[in-house]
Amino acid sequence: MYFKKKVSLVLLMAFILTCTAVPAMAQDQEQVDVYEDGKLVKSVVFVIGVQEYFVNGETPGIKMDATPFIQDGRTFVPIRYLGNAFG
């Protein structure tokens, strides 16, 4: 009986850690995709806390003088660089 409780507790802890880790990883970057006639035209990725952004997965990224951040559950990106990325 003790073994079953211990296994149940370990499984419950693993489930909780999995559920809490996924949203944290999802917030590390914001991706903006542009489609035209159902085809992907351009993809821009902003990484939270990093002073560069990536267009179509190309590296190295393009330098910025500001960093994207999350405040009160909202993601803020430098709009000037988002506009530059899309021309």
Domain edges within the chain: 2-86
One-character DSSP codes across 16-80: HHHHHHHHHHHTTEEEEEEEETTEEEEEEEEETT-SEEEETT-SS-EE-SS--EEETTEEE--HH
**What's residue 20's pLDDT?**
37
Confidence of residue 25 (pLDDT cuts 50, 70, 90): very low
If you average pLDDT over residues 5-31, what whole number do you get? Answer: 46
Q: Is 78 left (phi over 0), alpha (psi -120 to 50) or beta?
A: beta
Contact 68, 30 (CB under 8 A): yes
For residue range 29-74, what is the model confidence (pLDDT) as tens digits? 778 888 889 998 888 999 999 999 999 888 888 999 999 999 999 9
Q: State pTM to two decimals.
A: 0.59
Check whether 7 has a pLDDT greater than 70.
Answer: no
Topology classification of domain 2-86: Copper Amine Oxidase; Chain A, domain 1 (3.30.457)
How far apart (Å, rounded) are the C-alpha atoms in residues 45 and 14?
Answer: 30
